[in-house]
Each structure stands twice: as structure tokens, then as C-alpha cells.
Homo-oligomer: A and B are copies of this chain.
């Protein structure tokens, strides 16, 4: 088990070279390209140990070595420093994000930016409703028996839903409904609302009760229970970089997984404060993504987290660079949101 420093250096060198060239790396080439201070033969011995421990493997005899998922894991955990971003990248981020006019715009710009900087598939979750507070609820009568409910969250998200009322409701009653709903719900977290919403119905006047019952059930159902998360995606074309070598030749499972919102949420939606999560290959719970790695983190104004963002790419990816970019973008987006 004892991996001395040199063996670790060899592993690091293998990962770096393989990521750069996409070709199995041999002992001779390694010694030439890195100052390891030892001969190829020694490196070979180290490689044999690393292979036995499961950090690298040979695609076939008489070929160089390639890192395994486990090897990447060790590399990420212990052998790499997060690269500081280049000034050019910082500028790119700022330039890209400045001038966003609303939340939609912010999210779209962010996801494109991430895809472009990392040259990978980028995923951004809209601020989660579960973590948002109600800023305002607007009721707009569409007809006498139809209401459009527009909820504005403090994170900037706006959700609307059509409500079919059980019977006609007068304009004054709508005003009443609006007032009551806002008085009770504004400022509260959506995930905490169920009792509040229930109270709404109990406390309404008999006249308003039927309408309020429908309204509150729609609110509960669409905003809390089936809590509507949104996701933006960009950069799928990046999957085709590196020919067919990555993803063992078939993009199919990856593309399929990317179409499932549930899957995406699972990938990036479980963010914890100020952590960057890296899932490498097999560590991924989703079978379709066993050939991919995901780097994700949470973002939000200040220290709170309102959503997740991240990128997905081949296990053979530039982890230090990707991690740095994901973090930086998340931080900038957080700042942007804090300004609202």
C-alpha cells in the first residue's frame, strides 16, 4: 500500500500526460517529459506497483499505461493543486456575465460561459424553489373562472400556473385573495409553506373558501410537492471532441442521460456549501454516465446556496483547470445574484 513520493509523482505524470495527449503513456516518454531523476526501468517498477494497486492499467500488453478511475481519484484528492485562473479567463467571465437583464439571462449566459471555458457540457440549475422565499404572489384574472398565479421568488425566479376555479369569482374577491395570500406567504420559504397554505384555507371567509381551496392546492402541488426545478444545458457539441475515444465510442447513453432532468438534478443539485464535488467515472450512480466525470458546486448570493452548477466530460479531463473554472463561475454568479 505504501506509495512513496516518487510513485505518486509517476502517477501524477501519467495523468497529466494522458490528459494532454489522450494516448497511453510509456515509461520512456515519461522520463523524457518529466524530470523524475530516475531511469525508465525504475519507473517501470513503480508502474507495476501502481497497476497492482489499481491506479493505472494497460489497455493491452505492450502498450503504455492509462489512469483508472481510482487513479484519477487519487490525483484529484492528493496530487493536484487547483490552477489559478488566467486573467484572460477572469475577464471573460466578467464580460460574459455583466449586462444580464434578468434571471433567465443570467442562467443562459452562465451555462454558455461554462461550456465555453471548460470545453465540456455545462449544466446550470435555476435557483431552487425549495430554497427560495416568496417575494410576491400575483393573481391575474384571465376569465371569471380562471386565474393565472404568478409567483416571484427572492432569487428572481418567476413561476406561473393557470388555475381553474370551481366557480366564478368577482374582481373584488380576487383582490381579497391576492391580499390574503401575500400577507400570509410573502417572506416564507416555499418548503415551509404547507402548514401556512393550509391555514389560508381555514381562515378564509366562506365566500372565498372554494376559490382559496383550489388556489392553495395548486400552489402546493406545483410549487412544493412536484417542486419544479429548471435546468439549462449547453455545450453538448463538446462531447464530440476527442473523436470517439472518450465515452467508449458511444455518445448515446450520455445524450440520453442529459435529456432527463431528474438525472441532471441528481448530478448537480445536491450541492453543499463551498464544496466542489468531483464524481469520477464509476463513482457516478447513473449507469449511463459511468464513462464520464462530473464537477459540480453550489452557487448563491453570499454564503447561501440556491442552486447547483457544473460540467460533465470524459474521465480523461483536466480536473484542476475544470475545478477552478467551475468554482470561479459559481462565485461570480453568486455575486451577481447578491446584487439583486
Look across to chain B and name the residue whose beta carbon is closest to the beta carbon of A149.
B102
User: In angstroms, how far is the closest chain B Cβ from the Cβ of A72?
Assistant: 26
Indicate whether A251 sits within 8 Å of B259 (C-beta atoms), given known contacts A140-B152, A148-B152, A152-B148.
Answer: no
| A240 in contact with B259 given A102-B160, A148-B158 (CB within 8 Å) | no
Is A80 located at the chain interface by the 8 A CB criterion? no
Q: Is A101 an interface residue (CB 8 A)?
A: yes
Chain B residues near A258 (CB-CB < 8 A): 236
Contacts of A256 in B (CB 8 A): 237
Identical copies of this chain, number = 2
Residues from chain B with a CB closer than 8 A to the CB of A244 are 244
Distance in Å from the Cβ of A326 to the closest Cβ of chain B? 20
Q: Name A's interface SS.
A: mixed
CA–CA, A160 to B239, complex, Å? Answer: 33
Interface size on A, residues (CB 8 A): 31
The answer on a CB contact under 8 Å between A160 and B161 is: no
Complexed CA–CA distance, A135 and B235 (Å): 36
Interface bits A149-188 vs B (CB < 8 Å: 1, else 0): 0101000101011100000000000000000000000000
Decide: B142 and A140 in contact? CB cutoff 8 A. Answer: no
Give the residues in chain B near A234, CB-CB below 8 Å. 259
Inter-chain CA distance A266–B131, complex, in Å, is 38
Q: A158–B140 Cα gap in the complex (Å)?
A: 12
Chain B residue contacts of A340, Cβ below 8 A:
162
Q: A136-B140, A142-B135, A152-B148 are in contact. Are A161 and B237 (CB under 8 A)?
A: no
Question: Which chain B residue shows the least CB distance to A251?
Answer: B240
A156 to B, closest residue via Cβ? B162
A252 interfacial by beta-carbon distance below 8 Å: yes
Chain B residues near A150 (CB-CB < 8 A):
138, 140, 150, 158, 160
Q: Are A222 and B101 in contact (CB under 8 A)?
A: yes
Q: Is the CB of B236 within 8 A of A236?
A: yes
CB distance from A179 to the nearest CB of B (A): 13
**A198 contacts partner chain B, Cβ-Cβ < 8 Å:** no
Interface presence of A255 (CB below 8 A):
yes
Given contacts A138-B150, A140-B152, contact A161 B240 (CB under 8 A): no
Closest A-B pairs by Cβ, 8 of them: A237-B255, A237-B256, A240-B252, A158-B160, A102-B162, A236-B255, A136-B140, A138-B138
Chain A residues with a Cβ under 8 A of chain B: 101-102, 135-136, 138, 140, 142, 148, 150, 152, 156, 158, 160-162, 222, 234-237, 239-240, 244, 250-252, 255-256, 258-259, 340
